[in-house]
Structure 1
Amino acid sequence: MSTLLFIAGVLVMIVAVAASIALHEVGHLLPAKKFGLRVPQYMIGFGKTLFSFKRGETEYGVKAIPLGGYVSMVGMYPPQPATATEGKKRGFFPKVFGQLIDDARSQANEQVKVEDDGRMFYQLPIYKRIIIMLGGPLMNLLIGFVMIGIVVMGFGVSTATTTVSEVYQCMATAERSDATECHSGDPAAPAYAAGLRPGDTITAVNGQAVAHDAWYELTGVIREHPGQSIALEYERGGTVHATTLTPYLTERPVLDEDGYAVSGPNGQTLTEEVGFVGMASELQNLPQPISEVPVVVGDQLLRIGEVILHLPQRMVDVAQAAFGTQERDPNGPVSVVGVGRIAGEINASDQLEVTDKAASLVSLIGGLNLALFAFNLIPLLPLDGGHVAGALYEGVKRFFGRLAGKKHVAPVDTLKLLPLTYVVVVAMMVMGGLLIYADIFKPIQIF
């Protein structure tokens, strides 16, 4: 049964990846057609065409290798200037790459027809080119927002609540700080002595009501008032009770605004002397308002951006884990294979409820699309961000050209960056191969 659930999880992610790629290309297709650009092909995948059909000027189809997709648009690159001569092609760079660039230009423009004049990509205003190239990433961003929104507002976010999950019976002495059982000489923990028990929900502190998701607000009061009496109201079995407790002064980890322990420059957890009563919070999935969705999406994009910014080092870490003994970083990069494997493990897990599995899979799809959005904005060809950078550079070039009194400024020929493009493609293939190898033989452990 677990094998079938694993396969089902993988299939869900395969469909999600295919849909994300298809919609990414739709993000390019719609504005391209809106601006009158002729689009000969809209394809999902690469290699041999499995099936296709034609509507209007565009052929729609699916190819054999489902590792991406593309929208072919006429006139992506300007034609070779009429003034170009063979004499200009002297020198090392033109001799090595000149023919390669010419061949690529001919292949890219082989679908251009005479009637396409005025509606080719390089002839469009700069802002239209930018809109077309940003359409794909923005579609992924939209999908990510929707998926994360479903999780945040529908399934809810794991939240520390004011419902008590555990109450310690005693406070261990300094000599027995790692003890797990109480001895006769140990003082009773304040929460236990005050009558609090697992399942109780604290509703007020010192006469002030506290929200169900305000655990850190509650513990903030406790931490700030060691040795001082604190009045609590709590609900048990539908009945409200009142009690008081006095926090002990003890050394505890420094917490950030989200309740996570803060580490110092040396990696060790920072500590401080604060009040402590010996009780723990029950985590619950609580639906959040729509205003929380951008916050969650923003946090995820920041983490993804950090991974991309330090991608070379991250890939070194992946290689060391893949061919060494250390564990993979659960927040590090993964391939499509890794995403599918994670989805399968989530779906096959007996540690999660059905709703938790569904929420995890939807969240995974959302995170995947946010990663596609961020990665495609890298300003290098052949990524969408590279084409946007080329258009922006042309805009700057035209601006200074006008200041210099030039009536015509030649369009920027990004095809001249073809050698760099090949370097980027090879690097992406190497990184993809390494990630696939690591995801098969040294996968990220999520349970």
Structure 2
Amino acid sequence: MATLMWIIGVAVFVLGLLISIAWHELGHLSTAKMFGIRVPQYMVGFGPTVWSRRRGETEYGFKAIPAGGYIRMVGMFPPGEDGKVRQRSTSPFRGMIEDARAAAYEELQPGDETRMFYTRTPWKRVIVMFAGPFMNLVLAVVVFLGVWMAYGVPKTTTTVSSVADCVISQKEERDTCRDSDKAAPAAAAGIKPGDRIVAYDGRNVTDWKTLQGMIRDSGGPVTITVERDGQRRKLRADVIENDVIKNVDDPAAADDRETVKAGYLGLSPGRTIATLSAGESVERFGDMFAQGVDGLVALPSKIPDLWDAAFMGEERRADSPVGVVGAARVGGEVAAMELPASERVVFFLQLVAWFNLSLFLFNMLPLLPLDGGHIAGALWESIRRGTARVFRRPDPGPFDVAKLMPVAYVVAGVFVCFTLLVLVADVVNPVRLTG
């Protein structure tokens, strides 16, 4: 049964991936048609065509490899300086440019002269290229905010879930007490699981983060007020110094088990699911967006760890980049867990939402062949033409993005290499939610 659920989990993730890709390309398609650009193809996937149907002037279909998608627009690049598409030259870089230009004209039909992508004003081209990533962003926002406002997010509380029997340094890899270990302050004070801490050393507390900070900053005798069976009780505890995880909110820090000396009681908070307001949800999404940007910037620095995990047998870090295969495996792992159906659904929704947010951020990089590269080209053309008008110079004409194709090939090559590295790591040393 677990194997069947794992397969179902992988299939559900792949379906979410295909929907996300189709949604992305729909943004490009709809805006291109809105501005009168002819679109011969709308495809989800790469490789051999599995199914397709022609509707009007566009062929819609699915391809065998569900790892991307595309729409084909006529006239993506302007013609050469002589207005013609020439045969490929012997220069490799010039050949790349001419090949790209020829591909943009290979499906040109009579009447397409006024329906080519490059003939549209820069702001229209920006909209067409931005519409795809924007669709991913919209989907991510809708799903994340919908889940947080309707279902909620895990939240720590001041209700005690467990009490340690003894003091164990969190530098140590053990969870059993020795005869020589001191009793934990919380246990010695009589704190029990289920107690709700309402005040610490005379100060009222309502959230765990505040209480945790108070505990870590204190030392020696303190008075702790707990609510038990509807009654409040004051207990005396003797807070001691111990090695504790430096930042429990940072997965990377927790993974490294970096510790600091701080006050220690020896209790764990309870957890609950709490819904967020619209304002709280927007703020949380803003934090997640910032984390995504930071993660994208930090991506090159994670390559050595990925290499070690893939080929050197080193442990895969919890914050390691994960590809489509790795995410699908995580989805299968969650589906096979003994969790309530609602928690599984919420996990898959957020996994797909995070994938869409990643697609938006990645595609907005101002590099060809990404959407951001075409946006940057259109913006540069607008600046050139605007400057020419201000200084009453001749119109420089459309910016030839095809001249950047050698750079695009390099970027694509780096991306392919990185994707293959992540793929190997996901296969031989995947990130796991369970041991």
TM-score, normalization by structure 2? 0.86
1:153 aligned to 2:142? no
The structure 1 residue matched to 2:421, chosen from 434, 437, 440, is: 434
- Report the counterpart of residue 70 of structure 1 in structure 2: 70
1:327 matches 2:342: no
Quote the residue 1:14 is aligned against: 14
Identical positions, percent: 38
- Alignment partners' CA distance in 1, 2:419 and 2:155: 35
Whether 2:21 is the aligned partner of 1:25: answer no
CA pair 191-428 structure 1, distance change in 2 beyond 3 A? closer
Structure 1 vs Structure 2 CA RMSD = 3.3
CA positional deviation for 1:345: 1.2
Match in the other structure for 2:374? 387
1:200 aligns with 2:188: no
- For 2:175 and 2:51, how far apart are their aligned partners in 1? 67
Is 1:215 aligned to 2:208, yes or no?
Answer: yes
Change (3 A) 1:19 1:225: same
Letter in 2 for 1:35: F
3-state SS of the aligned residue for 1:82?
coil
Q: Distance in 1 between matches of 2:67 and 2:251?
A: 40
Indicate yes or no: 2:159 matched with 1:163.
Answer: yes
| 1:5-49: CA deviation from partner (whole Å, max 9, x where unpaired) | 110000001101110100010111122222222222211122333
Gaps of 5+ in 1: none
Amino acid at match of 1:356: E
Matches of 1:348 and 1:424 in 2, distance apart?
38
User: Which residue number corresponds to residue 375 of structure 1?
Assistant: 362
**In 2: Cα distance, 1:199 partner to 1:402 partner:** 73
Cα 1:165/1:130, change in 2 over 3 Å: same
Q: What is the SS of the residue equivalent to 2:278? A: coil
Between 1:62-71 and 1:128-137, the stretch displaced more is 62-71
Asked whether the equivalents of residues 159 and 194 of structure 2 are also in contact (C-alpha less than 8 Å), the reply is yes
CA separation of 1:128 and 1:220: change in aligned 2, threshold 3 A:
same
State whether residues 28 and 132 of structure 1, in contact with CA within 8 Å, keep that contact through their aligned partners in structure 2: yes
Q: How does 1:127-276 map to 2 (within 5 A)?
A: 127-168=123-164, 180-181=176-177, 189-205=184-200, 210-211=205-206, 214-227=207-220, 229-230=222-223, 232-236=225-229, 239-253=230-244, 269=258, 271-274=260-263, 276=264
Shift of 1:390: 0.9
The Cα of 1:442 is off from its aligned counterpart by: 1.9
Query: One-letter code of the match for 2:162?
Result: E
AA of the residue aligned to 2:196: T
Distance 1:182 1:53 in 2: 71
User: After superposition, where does 1:34-113 map in structure 2 within 5 Å?
Assistant: 34-82=34-82, 95-113=91-109
Task: Report the Cα distance in structure 1 between the residues aligned to 2:392 and 2:67, rounded to whole angstroms.
Answer: 47
Q: Which amino acid aligns with 1:443?
A: P
Q: How far is the alpha carbon of 1:97 from its aligned partner? A: 3.3
* Structure-2 change in CA distance of 1:184 and 1:234 (3 Å): farther
SS class of match (1:220)? helix
Assess if the C-alpha contact under 8 Å between 1:262 and 1:270 holds in 2: no
Q: Is the 8 A contact 2:188 2:237 kept in 1?
A: no
2:164 & 2:13 partners in 1: Cα distance? Answer: 43
Q: Distance in 1 between matches of 2:136 and 2:150?
A: 20
Partner of 1:416: 403
Change in CA separation of 1:379 and 1:348 when aligned onto 2, cut-off 3 Å: same
Secondary structure of residue in 2 paired with 1:291 = helix
TM superposition shift of 1:105: 1.5
1:216–1:259: 8 Å Cα contact kept in structure 2?
Answer: no
Contact persistence 2:52–2:62 (CA under 8 A): yes
Aligned length: 429
Q: By how many angstroms is 1:226 displaced?
A: 3.5
For residue 348 of structure 1, what is the aligned residue in structure 2? Answer: 336
Q: Is the 8 A contact 2:310 2:429 kept in 1?
A: yes
Residue ranges of structure 2 left out of the alignment (5+ in a row): none
SS at match of 2:111: helix
- 1:248-270: per-residue Cα shift (whole Å, max 9, x none)? 242454755x755997xxx8845
Contact in 2 for aligned 1:382/1:425 (Cα 8 Å) = yes
AA aligned opposite 1:217:
T
Question: What is the CA–CA distance in structure 2 between the aligned matches of 1:132 and 1:400, rounded to whole Å?
Answer: 24
Return 292-301 or 32-41, whichever deviates more: 292-301
With the length of structure 1 as denominator, give the TM-score of the two structures: 0.84
